[in-house]
C-alpha cells in the first residue's frame, strides 16, 4: 500500500456529517458562500435571461480544470525570487508550502481569508467591467461562487479522515494525494481526476514515478527555502 493510500496512523475514518461540521468552522467557506448567495440573489432579481447565461457556465466548467492547474503550478508552486533586494513571495505561495509541509493541518487546507478579502471584490469589479450586461456578470459571479465552494469542500475532504466511498471520488482523492505524498511535480488538479493533467502531461503512471524527497519541503533542492 502506497503512502498516498495508507490511512493515517491512529486515526479513524469520519462520516460526511462530521467532516461538514469541521468544514463550516473555517472562514473561507462562509466568505465564498456569501458571494454565491449575493450573486445568485442579484441574478434572480435582474432577470434578463439570455442564451449566453446558459453557455457561460458550460464554458467556465470546461475551462476550470485548466485554470485550477495553472493557478496550482504558477501561483501556489511559485519559487520565491529576489529582485533588487526585494523577495517576491505571495501569501498564497507561502501558505501552500506550509500546506505541503503538513497536509493534515486543517486551516492550511483552505484559501487564506486574507486573500479572499481582496479577491472577491476584485472579481466583482472585473465582472462588471468585462461583461456587456449586469445579468451576465452576475451569472459569472454565481458560477465562480459555486466553483469556489466545490473546490474548498473537495480539497478539505481529500485531506480529512473521510474515506472514499465511490469510484469517482476515489479517483479524485488519489490524484491529489499522490501530488502530496508521491511527487509534487505531477497531479496538479484537485476537483477532477487528472483532466488537465492528462492534457498537459502531468499525469504519469504513478508506478513509474520516484517518490520525491521534496514533496513536503517545496523547492528545497533549489535552495529557495520554504
On whether residue 9 sits in a domain, the answer given is: no
In-domain check, residue 131: yes
d(CA 93, CA 33): 24
Q: Is residue 54 in a domain?
A: yes
Q: Tell me whether residue 4 is in a domain.
A: no
- How many folded domains does the chain comprise? 1
Domain membership of residue 170 (yes or no) is: yes
Per-residue pLDDT tens listing for the chain (226 residues): 455 555 455 567 889 999 999 999 999 999 999 999 999 999 999 999 999 999 999 999 999 999 999 999 999 999 999 888 888 899 999 999 999 999 999 999 999 999 999 999 999 999 999 999 999 999 999 999 999 999 999 999 999 999 999 999 999 999 999 999 999 999 999 999 989 999 999 999 999 999 999 999 987 754 433 2
Please state the φ and ψ torsions of residue 137, each to the nearest 5 degrees: -60, -40
Look up the domain containing 126 and give its range.
30-220
pTM, whole model, 2 decimals? Answer: 0.90
- Whether 20 maps to a domain, the answer reads no
Q: Is residue 185 included in any domain, yes or no?
A: yes
Q: Is residue 16 part of a domain?
A: no
Amino acid at each position: 500500500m502506497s503512502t498516498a493510500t495508507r490511512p493515517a496512523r491512529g486515526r479513524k475514518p469520519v462520516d460526511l456529517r462530521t467532516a461538514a461540521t469541521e468544514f463550516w468552522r473555517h472562514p473561507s467557506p462562509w466568505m465564498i458562500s456569501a458571494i454565491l448567495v449575493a450573486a445568485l440573489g442579484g441574478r434572480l432579481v435582474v432577470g434578463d435571461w439570455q442564451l449566453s447565461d446558459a453557455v457561460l457556465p458550460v464554458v467556465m466548467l470546461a475551462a476550470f480544470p485548466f485554470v485550477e492547474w495553472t493557478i496550482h503550478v504558477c501561483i501556489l508552486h511559485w519559487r520565491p525570487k529576489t529582485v533588487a533586494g526585494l523577495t517576491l513571495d505571495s501569501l498564497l505561495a507561502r501558505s501552500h508550502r506550509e500546506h505541503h509541509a503538513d497536509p493534515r493541518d486543517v486551516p492550511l487546507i483552505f484559501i487564506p481569508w486574507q486573500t479572499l478579502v481582496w479577491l472577491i471584490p476584485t472579481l466583482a469589479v472585473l465582472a462588471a467591467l468585462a461583461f456587456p450586461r449586469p445579468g451576465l456578470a452576475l451569472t459569472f459571479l454565481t458560477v465562480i461562487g459555486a466553483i469556489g465552494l466545490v473546490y474548498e469542500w473537495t480539497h478539505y475532504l481529500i485531506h480529512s479522515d473521510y474515506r472514499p466511498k465511490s469510484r469517482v471520488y476515489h479517483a479524485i482523492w488519489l490524484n491529489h494525494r499522490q501530488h502530496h505524498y508521491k511527487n509534487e511535480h505531477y497531479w496538479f488538479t484537485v476537483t477532477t481526476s487528472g483532466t488537465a493533467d492528462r492534457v498537459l502531461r502531468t499525469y504519469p503512471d504513478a508506478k513509474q514515478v520516484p517518490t520525491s524527497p521534496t514533496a513536503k519541503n517545496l523547492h528545497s533542492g533549489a535552495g529557495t527555502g520554504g
